[in-house]
């Protein structure tokens, strides 16, 4: 079994910050994967950032193997932080990966996967929010592991990254619980063409969280796992910077009878 490395916290910049400085923290998070996934491990070697989209600087991190599935449903890990000065803003980020990337399934099978672009130039993506804070802010790198791993026709796997980065201070989260609590459900936020997804966690009373949401009206749709069967849809208003507690969403027994083949693997479901 591959050991999981720990990414270290590193602080760069001047020891004395003045009124013109901004501390920027970088966090890594992931969307929960379907039940068939047990671990998705990336060999994180470098993280680079750009202020202008042309020149690049390295964040100071300890390279290592990271299991993305350790950081789901609102959990994240601090990668590094830096100090910027007036007029300096993060515009783009690159993740550079090594060779030891793997996906482990619930049946115990482990497959390595290739990430050609990530191992050369790196996975480049934009920071999606305008900077409106001054003294400090946090950038959350959301690496959707399960949507990023693609199986080829020959049985091999490769990385087709689904990643976004946004400011924690400028965005909101919606969270809550789903009953019955022993069945994982897929939860989607939908606004126009913008869709985010997570999976509720039966080990935490079926808790779910979707984060990185901007101000607007969202449809919250709950589906059976790994299907397109919608069990419930509710609408909620979200205001950037304020999280929204949806409480406990009750799924009726009548709604659950629609797909017995999916539900038969869960205890207590006839």
- Residue 128, pLDDT > 70, answer no
| Token pair listed for 189 | 């936020």
User: Does one domain contain both 135 and 94?
Assistant: yes
Is residue 22 very low, low, confident or very high in pLDDT (cuts 50, 70, 90)? confident
CATH number at residue 235: 2.60.40.1120
Contact 39, 65 (CB under 8 A): no
Of 124-128, 217-221, 228-232, 262-266, the poorest mean pLDDT is in 262-266
Residue span of the structural domain in which 87 resides: 1-170
Q: Are 248 and 180 in contact (CB under 8 A)?
A: no
Least confident stretch, 40-49, 171-180, 207-216, 259-268: 259-268
Query: Quick check: 194 pLDDT over 60?
Result: yes
Pairing label, strands 230-238, 216-223? antiparallel
> Where does a domain end: 170, 205, 225?
170
Q: Is the pLDDT of residue 204 over 50?
A: yes
Check pLDDT > 70 for residue 259: no
Band (252; pLDDT cuts 50, 70, 90) = confident
Q: Which residue has the higher pLDDT, 20 or 140?
A: 140
How many distinct structural domains can be found in the chain? Answer: 2
Q: pTM of the prediction?
A: 0.76
Point out the domain boundary residue: 117, 142, 170: 170
Backbone angles phi, psi at 12, to 5 degrees: -120, 165
Residues 63-86 have a mean pLDDT of 88
Read off the tokens for 15: 């020891």
First-to-final CA distance of the chain: 37
* pLDDT classification of 64: cutoffs 50, 70, 90: very high
Provide the b/e sequence for 228-244 (b: ≥16 CB within 10 Å).
eeebbeeeeebeeeeeb
| Phi, then psi, of 28 in degrees rounded to 5 | -115, 135
Does 17 reside within a domain? yes
SS3 state of residue 2: coil
Considering the domain architecture, whether residues 206 and 224 belong to the same structural domain is answered as yes
In this structure, are residues 248 and 179 in contact, taking their beta carbons and an 8 Å threshold?
yes
Tell me: do 176 and 166 sit in the same domain: no
Residues 198 and 177 in one domain: yes
Show the tokens assigned to 83. Answer: 């100090």
């Amino acid at each position: 079994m591959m050991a999981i490395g720990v990414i270290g916290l590193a602080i760069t910049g001047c020891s004395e910050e003045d009124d013109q400085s901004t501390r920027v923290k970088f966090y890594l998070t992931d969307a929960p994967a379907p039940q068939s996934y047990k671990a998705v491990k990336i060999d994180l070697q470098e993280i680079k950032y750009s202020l202008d989209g042309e020149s690049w600087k390295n964040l100071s991190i300890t390279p290592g193997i990271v299991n993305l599935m350790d950081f789901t449903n609102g959990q994240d890990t601090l990668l590094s932080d830096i100090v910027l000065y007036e007029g300096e803003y993060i515009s783009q980020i690159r993740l550079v990966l090594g060779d030891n990337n793997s996906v482990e399934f619930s049946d115990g099978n482990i497959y390595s996967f290739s990430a050609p672009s990530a191992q050369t130039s790196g996975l480049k993506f934009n920071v999606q929010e305008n900077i409106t804070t001054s003294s400090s802010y946090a950038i959350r790198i959301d690496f959707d592991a399960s949507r990023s791993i693609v199986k080829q026709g020959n049985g091999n796997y490769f990385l087709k990254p689904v990643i976004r980065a946004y400011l924690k201070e400028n965005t909101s989260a919606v969270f809550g619980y789903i009953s019955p609590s022993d069945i994982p459900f897929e939860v989607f936020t939908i606004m126009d063409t913008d869709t985010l997804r997570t999976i509720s966690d039966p080990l935490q009373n079926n808790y779910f969280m979707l984060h990185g949401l901007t101000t607007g009206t969202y449809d919250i749709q709950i589906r059976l796992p790994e299907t397109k069967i919608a069990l419930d849809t509710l609408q909620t208003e979200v205001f950037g910077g304020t999280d929204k507690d949806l409480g406990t969403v009750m799924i009726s027994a009548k709604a659950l009878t629609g797909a017995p083949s999916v539900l038969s693997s869960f205890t207590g479901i006839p």
